[in-house]
Structure 1
Amino acid sequence: MAVSLLTYVITFFVFICNYALTITSLALPKWLTFVTPVPFYMETNYGLFRLCRSFTRECRVFPSNDYGDCSEDGFCELWRAASAGMLVSAILGALAIVALIGTMCSSRRKRAKAWVTVAGLFALHAIPQAFSMGVMAYLFNHSATFYMGTRYDVSFILCTISWCLSIFLAVLLSLIAVLSPPEYSYQPLN
């Protein structure tokens, strides 16, 4: 059972795109969005670390005790847990990239066994993201901070795609490793 170098190269480029989704969802303050109805258009974007309003064209730290964001029990703790989950996921994603580069640069014998580590790192990359997405969905549905009309936005969707793709890559790499024949199997002499 072996995974070829070509499989690792393709996996590397797919995971780089996946990691870009993770970093974008972490940095972009668009997890949740509230748009006020007509006639006064104002868009409020909630990010993991910032709240931005289109009317004033400014962003501030979110959640913050200074603005009364933490008046609801457990809101700030859960929001910060979701932020921490995404940061942990970004760190684990970087480790997965380093592991993939190391695997691609290693010998054939080491590549044959490296799929366990790489697939495990993909799964570990997905777990904190799924946690963050679940916390944000919980706060979206149960917090009085968000008014009717608030909706999920780009960062939430990118996070969901990213952790699903990480799980898919982990399962696919494991299946390829288990089901494929050895790269250079023994050929008997006639």
Structure 2
Amino acid sequence: MTRRGIYTFGFVVTLACTAMTIASIVEPRWLSYGSNDKRQYSMGLHSRCSTVTGTCKHFPQYDDCVGDKWGFCSMWRTVGFLLSFSVVVELCMLVSFIVIVVGGVQRRVTGWKVLSPLLAFGGIVQCAGMAIVAFLYDHDERFFDGWYLDLSFTLATISWSLLVLTGLGIAASAIYLPAEGDYELIPDPLFTSDETEQ
């Protein structure tokens, strides 16, 4: 059975994953051009920045979506949707953790059946968004030599990996750990007195 301490640890990990997901959305560093110590351009889910000019612009813009570029544009916007949806799922997880921990032993006994699939689902949603970025990085012509996957991609990778591992850990603890505060059998005085007389 999953104990309060395991749920509390899972809550802390999920809180960290939520912070990393939000940071990966806000920070415009999914793909960057240049070198790690001297980045010239970087692209986020909603903006494109240049360290040369020191400015950031909304991304993708109309020019990025016309003609045969519409595929890139729609896929990039899908990543933004998936990551934003993942934050909503993570917030639901945090509320679920609080309800289960505060709710007593009965909720802790059955809570893993809700939390583990929810954690796995959140991880899969993030992984799907990250996979689209990796696909575009490998196949879109705008990402030539000099572009690389940057900090936001790394944060998203750590986040979904920890979510899936936390879900597996909570499920494993529920299946393999003994029940919390399990009852001990109380000897029956009538039954024991009959045995002693024989």
TM-score using structure 2 length:
0.88
Matched, 1:101 2:98: yes
Aligned position for 2:160: 163
- Does 51-60 or 180-189 show the bigger shift? 180-189
Matched, 1:186 2:183: yes
Cα distance change on mapping 1:42 and 1:118 into 2, 3 Å = closer
Give the unaligned 5+ runs of structure 1.
none
Matched, 1:18 2:39: no
Paired AA for residue 70 in structure 1 = C
Matched, 1:54 2:51: yes
Whether the 8 Å contact between 1:19 and 1:162 is mirrored in structure 2 is yes
| Matched residues, number | 183
Paired AA for residue 40 in structure 2 = E
Matched, 1:7 2:6: yes
**Counterpart among 131, 136, 143 of residue 133 in structure 2:** 136
Percent of aligned positions that are identical: 28
Cα distance change on mapping 1:42 and 1:106 into 2, 3 Å = closer
CA distance in 1, matches of 2:139, 2:107: 49
Whether the 8 Å contact between 2:101 and 2:107 is mirrored in structure 1 is no
SS in 1 for 2:185: coil
Q: CA RMSD in A?
A: 1.4
Matched, 1:88 2:88: no
Aligned position for 2:42: 45
SS in 2 for 1:43: strand
Whether the 8 Å contact between 1:92 and 1:121 is mirrored in structure 2 is yes
SS in 2 for 1:157: helix
CA distance in 2, matches of 1:97, 1:33: 32
Aligned position for 1:177: 174
Whether the 8 Å contact between 2:64 and 2:70 is mirrored in structure 1 is no
How do 1:57-68 residues align onto structure 2 when only pairs under 5 Å count?
Answer: 57-65=54-62, 68=63
Paired AA for residue 57 in structure 2 = R
TM-score using structure 1 length:
0.92
Higher helix residue share: 2
Cα distance change on mapping 1:137 and 1:42 into 2, 3 Å = closer
For the pair shown, the structure with the greater C-alpha radius of gyration is: 2
- Does 155-164 or 118-127 show the bigger shift? 118-127
